[in-house]
Chain A
Amino acid sequence: MRTVTPKMTGAEIFFESLKKEKVEYVFGYPGGAVLKIYEKLYDVDFLKHILVRHEQGATHMAEGYAKATGKVGVVLVTSGPGATNTVTGIADAYMDSVPIVVFTGQVPTHLIGNDAFQEADIVGITRPITKHNFLVRDVNELALTIKKAFYIASTGRPGPVLVDLPKDVINSVCEFDYPEKIELRGYKPTFLGHQNQIKKAAEILKKAKRPLLYVGGGVIMSNGDRELRLFAKENNLPVTMTLQGLGAFPMTDTQSLGMLGMHGTYWANQAVNNCDVLVSLGARFDDRVTGKVDAFATKAYKIHVDIDPTCIDKNIVVDLPIVGDVKHVLAELAAEMDEAPDLTEWWQQINTWREECPLHYEKNDGKLRSEFIIEKISEKTKGEAVVITDVGQHQMWVSQYYKFTNPRSHITSGGLGTMGFSLPASIGAAFGIKDRPIVSISGDGGFQMNIQELVTAAYNKLPIKFIILNNSFLGMVRQWQELFHAEKYSFTDLSDSNPNFVKVGEAFGLKSFSTNSPNNVDDILEQAFSYNAGPVLIEFKVVKEDMVFPIIPAGQSVKEIMTKRLDPKEMV
């Protein structure tokens, strides 16, 4: 039914539309082009505006909120610099398929193209990094455009949508008419998988001797984790997950092989390399997963389930594509599986690999290590926290040592690899999730990239645990320098320049801790996790020069896997 009301301004229509979309939070920052919206916001009580300290922070908060809740994250910024500051977050959301809608102010339509004050062609700039974007040229199109933006962002393969709002459009008036439903002739995501293809997949799986499920973020986005669990358990199938897929299947389950790819487990990578049927579920055969494509899963019949047809046959040519929503396809696939394959031998083989080369770190030299801390946090939170990581070594260690048991619990910048993601994204997650601990884990480098948002966390009294694994290095880059760049540690040593993190935390109003001893870890975690009146910061001064293992060097295959630091004696 249509609801037509008396005339409203663009600013009023903007908020009425957000109300229709049931938006709870807007992460934003004001400025000239959006003053009229902020004027109206003053009287709005049905949503909360969160004032950030940098517009990049706002986009990552929206991402954190969206990934943790499955709802659309919303950003509001001014034109020009406000808009360009959102670009990294938008690109990040595009790579990781995160549903966010970014509203940018724009100079009045008659000034567009005149190099007006604070003008930037943000629609042009973001065209290759948005699922879609709009410039609203007439207030009569505003409500419909907002409806389209939310619809496009949240359906099919989700992604960021940008809506550019010229100042005069916001000031003009028209009737408010918000459509309940829309259909776009150029956009109709395939939802149901092809019946015959699904039947065929089941036939092949029933006969498989060495099947493997390769699970990506799509399973989590489609809320298909329950279907995955049932399907995997009933058929005794081994499950390996991508970085974005972690949590889709409980890592505490013996059927979980952990993560695959560059820093994946030895046994997961061996399983990929030796399986006879590989079922990819909502994953995209990214180069960090496949390494050398010619050597990837060469023995496997490949089944690929994805809602985005462009993912299919892009990096790896598959034998059986199924385009559709993973949740639905999984349910139908499970229904077709009337007999489970006999996998005794396959499991024996996998378990041999597991024992051959387990994850390992030095525990007995009295030094503080990231892996140890992550294991402690995993135990403390029983694998049930929402853990938001940054980019680098600590990110990979979290993927290896935190035992995720639930979907939407592991939030990280995977596709773009954006340092500075964790801190603001954890703020977004903390607004969305109130009943589970929120743990942000960063390196000392990335923590400084959006450090200004600590005030957003403190001001809003969010009970986030900000963990800094401080190795005084840009650790992951240092690791590559050691392994592949002649040990030239060019501009990665931060030991002389890092700030005093405890003082930084305190200045922003956070309860702050620091230690370099493994003996203090339990005590500090206990204090931190029992304090929920606001955020805490914990700096763990860890060993400087540890490396993440295993590692398959970029573009190589599982044959080249390195599982430990080479002893200098062995190197000659």
Chain B
Amino acid sequence: MKHTISVHVENHYGAFNRVATMFSGKGFNIHSISIGETEVPEVSRMTIVTEGEDKIIEQVVKQLNRLIDTIKVIDLTGQSRVERELALITVFYQKGTRAEITNICNIFRGNVVDINNKTITLEVTGPPDKIDAVINVLAPYGIKEMARSGTVALKRGEQLKQDKKETVI
């Protein structure tokens, strides 16, 4: 089963590598991984989508917790959460299909962000399954290239607990 895990890490050199190294070293799957700053500048949030049996996921969470640079690890799976992904998709168009493609884009509340004589580039955001759906619908037109951001997620109504500050006495 797929799990979305949110990890607060120290925003410094090597922290991301440590997480990635742990995943590859332990043979855990990564579907997607994204990282960016949080409301606290010294803390970054990684959102990791991984897959495995419960026993494996339990190990993933424990191993993440064990890293010195991780501050907080939350498995968001099964919790009420907001999940979003952004995709940029460049599709080939012919004379009759340009309108169809922009129409599809509208249905999925996407934006046209670039166009030239052969291709049109769409920007779509939404839950990952919506992105999958857009891609499926666009596939028959011919997708030239595509970039997905990976999932970012927040617990609904989540209040970021102020963890104990690193104190140097």
Asked whether B18 lies within 8 Å of A310 as measured between CB atoms, the reply is: no
Interface residue tally for chain A (C-beta within 8 Å):
26
Instruction: Tell whether, in the assembled complex, residue B166 and residue A183 are in contact, meaning their CB atoms are under 8 Å apart.
Output: yes
Q: Can you report 22 A-B residue pairs in the complex whose CB atoms are below 8 A from each other? A: A123-B14, A127-B14, A127-B17, A127-B18, A128-B22, A180-B169, A183-B164, A183-B167, A184-B68, A185-B71, A185-B164, A185-B165, A185-B166, A186-B9, A186-B10, A186-B68, A186-B69, A186-B71, A309-B62, A309-B66, A310-B66, A312-B62
Check B69 against A179 for contact (C-beta < 8 Å): no
A-side residues, CB < 8 A to B, are: 123-124, 127-128, 131-132, 135, 137, 144, 152, 179-187, 308-310, 312-314, 317
Residue of A nearest to B67 (CB): A186
Count class of interface residues, chain B: 20 to 34
A179 to B169, CA, bound (A): 6
Distance in Å: Cβ of B117 to nearest Cβ of chain A: 42
B residues less than 8 Å from A182 (CB atoms): 166-169
Contact between chains at B59 and A127 (CB < 8 Å):
no
- Note all chain A residues with C-beta closer than 8 A to B163: 185
Q: Are A135 and B13 in contact (CB under 8 A)?
A: yes
What's the Cα separation between A308 and B62 when bound, in Å? Answer: 9
B149 to chain A, nearest CB (A): 26
B102 interfacial by beta-carbon distance below 8 Å: no
- Shortest Cβ distance from residue A451 to the other chain B in the assembled complex, whole angstroms: 32
Chain B CB within 10 Å — which of A131, A144, A309 has the most? Answer: A309
Within 8 Å by CB of B65, from A127, A179, A181, A309, lies: A309
Q: What 1/0 flags go to B130-169 for Cβ under 8 Å of A?
A: 0000000000000000000000000000000001111111
Q: Are B63 and A310 in contact (CB under 8 A)?
A: yes
**A172 to B59, alpha carbons, bound, how many Å?**
43
B30–chain A nearest beta-carbon distance, Å: 16
Residues of A within 8 A of B166 (CB): 182-185
**Additional A-B contact list (7), CB under 8 Å, known A179-B168, A182-B166:** A127-B18, A128-B21, A132-B69, A184-B166, A185-B165, A186-B67, A310-B62
Chain A residues lying within 8 Å of B63, measured Cβ to Cβ, are 310
Would you call A181 and B13 a contact (CB within 8 A)? no
Contact A186 B59 (CB under 8 A): no
CB distance from B160 to the nearest CB of A (A): 14
B100 to chain A, nearest CB (A): 49
